[in-house]
């Protein structure tokens, strides 16, 4: 397949400066008339042809300045339209008519139907499935969109920008016109038309303009959108206060659709959302759902400035908008909720999703240099590592200079399509500090390893660190350079408090941050009164794998005393990881009572917020442990070790945990706020321990039946199913849940997820059976992800079944799905990425399954690309 390379970037010969679209909507034959104001760039020869992108298009007609173009002057294929013999004038109008079929579009890119409503998804390259266009992010065009539809079919007609007019065409048809004055790339185009309910509100911006806010949902679901509306208003305010970003149109609309390839999309003034990230009430949504809704509403809204007003020059720059916007939504959630709790969740997520990517066959730099299919680069590396890189800039520059850099970026590049270099230059100029070395984080793939050994020289009072950094080779990049790694740190004195640090040699150390820049460095802290305990990479200031020579006692000390709450969690987590690796590789389960004791202390420590205590008690997942083991993994041994540790902790702490469990019970009516959610999370993690210790599902059954909200109900069901899959109590609860929620697809997703993650080899048959359940559908991405995706990525012992049947099942599903939805199929197939870390027998079976996908004729570019890279 074709490879796109960063170094081949070339501006187009022509620009489309204004785009006038007319949609005559019909399920199988929508007519799209595009009137494009085309401008030849200065210096381009007048005889240069216009070459437009298409994807599966049929050209109905073509004219220039109102005159039909003769056959010999253009060449139209489904994938491109090339026109030559153009007017001598630098500007002319091109009119293109295409006909498309939304109802048969199951790839969910371009214009398609979801539950009978029309909607679009254009990022990255979906606009070319609607009309021929310069479908590249550096073509910025204003848009006027006229939608014509049957009143009965689509009473609601929405597009980007501000509403201009609407009216009736005849008794059957009506129309609406929208105009977006902000030049934007085609990937931000959106159209929604259908029979939708809505809720409305207003927001007054900092300069006093009133914005009409709307959220459109299926009829009857309006009350479920109120939390999203609240999150939207809080996001709008926060972006003004934190970044000085004010909203710029007179309306802002969000639409929730049930068939969507990803989470949501930031189309200018018209965000389209997976309904999972809009709809919530206590009866059907968990606390995690509320937190996700808040974060994603914010993320898409924040794109208005980071992504839309300032966009990417080309798709290699994707992290310019995504990494930055993730950073912004992380900060928003940290401000709205608990900063340390949020940070720990971010790191767990980074390690679970980005680290395996960076350490496996799909590794790529935050800013990739080549791709075959851009949709395969909406990755955790671009998003989450991209966000970590922005966070490091903040750490290096400090809050004030960081903000100055952002201000300069907004001021200098508003209305432009730019690059990572442009972005970095703003921080350099605003701060006067060089980020040349730092910028390597964008260009070099792989997770850096930092090894630290320390010694305390009692005679001089010097505390000396030997620090080595290295980056393991990644595909197509074997030679790695040292990075600029900012390590926030503290030295804990014997009383557990941070010591004063005087002079330091061997590295730049400022404001509590050690700046590593070389492969090997010795950092000497002069005159430290007594042997300190080092707290390094506080707040996870750099996204690295850190190996330290801390003793168990040091770690327990940090877990009890570190003033940095992130590192306090990291200390207990590291102890658990260590214990679990030892147990799963040796098969002997005698855990250190001091570890158990420390966990019980943290669980009971009233000075820590409940959500934090819950995180301290959340054992590393099986996947976490497997990743730390790294090679020759036997998932059954990992599961056994983890279950043994849970049992050991639960048994040792049975009474204490029971008391806390009872004390956290909420007698108030449900509220989704962070503090209430935190109590529930503590209670629900304790439930897992208590049920393990009891050797009976009784307590979980009781909670399941008494629950007045989905968080507690789903948590109880999950404990039942995972610990007692065969028990009558579990079967009863699963049936009750199914009966109660069978008409609610989003809740049935939870029912699928809980069953797909039941540990053990038997789950494969269960999952296979559930693919025939009436609530399941291979054309709906949420269903596929919940049942098959969760099984493959969240069930170590099921997916990696020793006989390879889990791999076979995934391969078959990928092949079937690829026929209609390549994007979701490709995403699903990434579950194979860690196959080389398994023990030999499993590796061979995974390789065979991958090879079998690779052999299928007419595989999509999306799946082909992932499978080929995964096979390596
Ligand atoms: N920008 C979209 C993602 C588009 C994915 C295209 N395959 C959502 C987001 O990151 O906000
Ligand atoms: Zn985004």
Query: Separation of 322 CA from ligand 2 center, angstroms?
Result: 5
Residue of 108, 135, 263, 265 with the most ligand 1 atoms within 8 Å of its CB, for mutation:
265
**Ligand 1 atom nearest residue 307's Cα:** 1
Query: Separation of 561 CA from ligand 2 center, angstroms?
Result: 37
**Ligand 1 atom nearest residue 264's Cα:** 8
Domains of the chain: residue spans and CATH: 4-195 (2.60.40.1730), 311-443 (1.10.390.10), 449-542 (2.60.40.1840), 742-872 (1.25.50.10)
Which ligand ends up closest to the CA of 320? 2
Which ligand ends up closest to the CA of 124? 1
Q: What is the pLDDT of residue 452?
A: 98
Ligand 1 proximal residues by C-beta, below 6 Å? 123-124, 262, 264-266, 299-300, 303, 322, 375, 378
**pLDDT tens-digit map of 531-553:** 999 999 999 999 999 999 999 99
Q: Is 300 a catalytic residue?
A: yes
Secondary structure class of 673 (helix, strand, coil): coil
Which ligand ends up closest to the CA of 297? 1
Beta-strand relationship, 197-204 and 210-217: antiparallel
Query: Separation of 326 CA from ligand 2 center, angstroms?
Result: 7
Query: Separation of 316 CA from ligand 1 center, angstroms?
Result: 14
Query: Separation of 323 CA from ligand 2 center, angstroms?
Result: 8
Q: What is the DSSP letter of 69?
A: P
Walking along the chain (872 residues) 10 residues at a time, the average pLDDT comes out as 96 98 98 99 97 98 98 98 97 98 98 98 98 99 99 98 98 99 99 99 98 98 98 99 98 98 99 98 98 99 99 99 99 98 98 98 98 98 99 98 99 99 99 98 98 97 98 96 98 97 94 97 96 98 98 98 98 98 97 97 96 98 97 97 98 97 88 97 98 98 97 98 98 98 98 99 98 98 98 98 98 98 98 97 98 98 98 96
Look at residues 411, 113, 476 and name the one whose alpha carbon lies nearest to residue 244.
411
Query: Separation of 816 CA from ligand 1 center, angstroms?
Result: 24
Q: CA 438 to CA 736: how far, in whole Å? A: 55
Which ligand ends up closest to the CA of 306? 2
What contacts 24+ positions apart, CB below 8 Å, involve 393-402?
A: 393/427, 393/435, 393/438, 394/327, 395/486, 395/488, 395/513, 395/541, 396/433, 396/435, 396/438, 396/484, 396/486, 396/513, 396/515, 397/427, 397/431, 397/433, 398/511, 401/427, 401/430, 401/431, 401/433, 402/427
Q: CA 673 to CA 666: how far, in whole Å? A: 13
Burial letters 57-75, b for 16+ CB under 10 A, else e: bebeebebeeeebeeeebe
**Ligand 1 atom nearest residue 300's Cα:** 11
Q: CA 258 to CA 278: how far, in whole Å? A: 10
**Ligand 1 atom nearest residue 383's Cα:** 10
Q: CA 304 to CA 300: how far, in whole Å? A: 7
Residue of 123, 188, 382 with the most ligand 1 atoms within 8 Å of its CB, for mutation:
123
Query: Separation of 321 CA from ligand 2 center, angstroms?
Result: 7
Pick the residue whose CA is nearest to atom 5 on ligand 1.
Answer: 123
Q: What is the DSSP letter of 52?
A: E
Neighbours of 695 (CB within 10 A): 12
Total residues found in the chain within this entry: 872
Residue of 125, 266, 825 with the most ligand 1 atoms within 8 Å of its CB, for mutation:
266
Q: CA 126 to CA 118: how far, in whole Å? A: 14
Beta-strand relationship, 74-77 and 91-100: unpaired
Tell me the sheet residues that pair with 474.
Answer: 477
Q: What is the pLDDT of residue 667?
A: 81
Longest dimension (CA), the chain: 95
**Ligand 1 atom nearest residue 374's Cα:** 7
Determine whether 302 is exposed, middle or buried from the number of CB atoms within 10 Å of its CB (0-12, 13-18, 19+): buried
Q: CA 317 to CA 417: how far, in whole Å? A: 10
Q: What is the DSSP letter of 633?
A: B
**Ligand 1 atom nearest residue 263's Cα:** 8
Total-model pTM:
0.99
Pick the residue whose CA is nearest to atom 10 on ligand 1.
Answer: 322
Q: What is the pLDDT of residue 809?
A: 99
Q: CA 308 to CA 475: how far, in whole Å? A: 32
Residue of 108, 273, 322, 376 with the most ligand 1 atoms within 8 Å of its CB, for mutation:
322
In the set 266, 300, 331, 601, the catalytic residue is 300
Pick the residue whose CA is nearest to atom 7 on ligand 1.
Answer: 375
Query: Separation of 540 CA from ligand 1 center, angstroms?
Result: 26
Neighbours of 349 (CB within 10 A): 12
């Amino acid at each position: 397949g074709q490879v796109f390379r960063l170094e081949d970037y070339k501006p187009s010969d022509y620009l489309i400066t204004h785009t006038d679209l007319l949609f005559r909507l019909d399920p199988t034959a929508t007519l799209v008339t595009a009137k494009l104001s085309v401008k030849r760039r200065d210096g381009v020869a007048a005889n240069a042809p216009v070459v437009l992108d298409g994807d599966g298009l049929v050209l109905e007609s073509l004219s220039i300045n109102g005159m039909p173009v003769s056959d010999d002057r253009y060449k139209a294929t489904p994938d491109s339209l090339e026109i030559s013999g153009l007017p001598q004038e630098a500007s002319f109008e091109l009119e293109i008519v295409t006909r498309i079929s939304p109802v048969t579009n199951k790839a969910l890119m371009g214009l398609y139907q979801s539950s009978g409503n029309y909607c679009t998804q254009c990022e990255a390259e979906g606009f070319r499935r609607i009309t021929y266009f310069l479908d590249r992010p550096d073509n910025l065009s204003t848009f006027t969109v006229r939608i014509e539809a049957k009143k009965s079919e689509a009473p609601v007609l929405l597009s980007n920008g501000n509403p201009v007019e609407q009216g009736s065409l005849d008794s059957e048809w009506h129309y609406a016109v929208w105009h977006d004055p902000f030049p934007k790339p085609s990937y931000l185009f959106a159209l929604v038309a259908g029979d939708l309910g809505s809720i409305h509100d207003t927001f007054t911006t900092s300069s006093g303009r009133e914005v009409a806010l709307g959220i459109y949902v299926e009829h009857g679901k309006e009350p479920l959108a109120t939390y999203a509306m609240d999150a939207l208003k809080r996001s709008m305010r926060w972006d003004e206060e934190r970044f000085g970003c004010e909203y710029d149109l007179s309306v802002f609309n969000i639409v929730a659709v049930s068939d969507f390839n990803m989470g949501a999309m930031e189309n200018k003034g018209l965000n389209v959302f997976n309904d999972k990230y809009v709809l919530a009430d206590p009866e059907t949504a968990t606390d995690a759902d509320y937190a996700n809704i808040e974060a994603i509403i914010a993320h898409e809204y924040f794109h208005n400035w980071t992504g839309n007003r300032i966009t990417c020059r080309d798709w290699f720059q994707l992290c310019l908008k995504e990494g930055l916007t993730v950073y912004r939504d992380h900060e928003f959630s940290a401000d709205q909720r608990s900063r340390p709790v949020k940070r720990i969740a971010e790191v767990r997520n980074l390690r679970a999703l980005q680290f395996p990517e960076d350490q496996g066959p799909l590794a790529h730099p935050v800013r990739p240099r080549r791709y075959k299919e851009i949709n395969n680069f909406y990755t955790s590396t671009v998003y989450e590592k991209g966000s970590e890189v922005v966070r490091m800039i903040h750490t290096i520059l400090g809050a004030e200079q960081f903000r100055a850099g952002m201000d300069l970026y907004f001021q200098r590049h508003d209305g432009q399509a730019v690059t990572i270099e442009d972005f970095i230059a703003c921080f350099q100029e605003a701060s006067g500090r060089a980020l040349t070395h730092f910028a390597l984080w964008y260009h070099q793939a792989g997770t850096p390893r930092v090894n630290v050994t320390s010694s305390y020289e009692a005679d001089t009072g010097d505390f000396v660190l030997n620090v080595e950094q290295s980056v393991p080779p990644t595909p197509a990049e074997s030679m790695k350079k040292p990075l600029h790694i900012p390590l926030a740190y503290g030295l804990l004195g014997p009383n557990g408090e941070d010591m004063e640090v005087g002079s330091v040699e061997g590295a730049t150390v400022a404001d509590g941050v050690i700046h590593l820049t070389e492969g090997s460095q010795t950092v000497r802290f002069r005159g430290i009164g007594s042997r300190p305990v080092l707290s390094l990479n506080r707040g996870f200031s750099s996204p690295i794998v850190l190996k330290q020579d801390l003793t168990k006692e040091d770690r327990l000390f940090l877990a009890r005393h570190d003033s940095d709450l992130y590192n306090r969690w990291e200390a207990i987590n590291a102890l658990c990881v260590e214990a679990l690796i030892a147990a799963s590789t040796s098969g002997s389960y005698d855990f250190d009572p001091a570890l158990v004791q420390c966990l019980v202390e943290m669980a009971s420590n009233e000075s820590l917020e409940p959500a934090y205590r819950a995180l301290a008690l959340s054992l590393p997942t099986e996947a976490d442990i497997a990743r730390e083991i790294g090679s020759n993994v036997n998932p059954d041994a990992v599961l056994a070790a983890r279950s043994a540790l849970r049992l050991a902790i639960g048994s040792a702490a049975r009474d204490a945990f029971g008391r806390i469990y009872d004390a956290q019970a909420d007698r108030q009516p449900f509220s989704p706020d962070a503090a209430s959610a935190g109590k529930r999370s503590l209670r629900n993690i304790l439930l897992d321990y208590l049920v393990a210790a009891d050797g009976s599902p009784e307590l979980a059954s009781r909670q399941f039946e008494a629950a007045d909200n989905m968080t507690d109900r789903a948590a109880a069901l999950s404990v039942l199913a995972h610990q007692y899959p065969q028990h009558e109590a579990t079967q009863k609860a699963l049936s009750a849940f199914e009966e109660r929620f069978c008409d609610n697809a989003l809740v049935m997703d939870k029912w699928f997820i809980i069953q797909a993650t039941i540990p053990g080899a038997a789950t494969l048959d269960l999952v296979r059976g559930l693919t025939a359940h009436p609530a399941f559908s291979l054309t709906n991405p949420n269903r596929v992800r919940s049942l098959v995706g969760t099984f493959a990525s969240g069930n170590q012992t099921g997916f990696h079944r020793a006989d390879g049947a889990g791999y076979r099942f995934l391969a078959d599903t990928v092949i079937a799905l690829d026929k209609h939805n390549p994007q979701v199929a490709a995403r699903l197939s990434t579950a194979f990425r860690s196959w080389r870390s398994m023990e030999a027998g499993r590796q061979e079976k995974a390789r065979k399954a991958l090879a079998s996908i690779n052999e299928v004729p007419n595989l999509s570019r999306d799946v082909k690309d992932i499978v080929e890279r995964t096979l390596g």
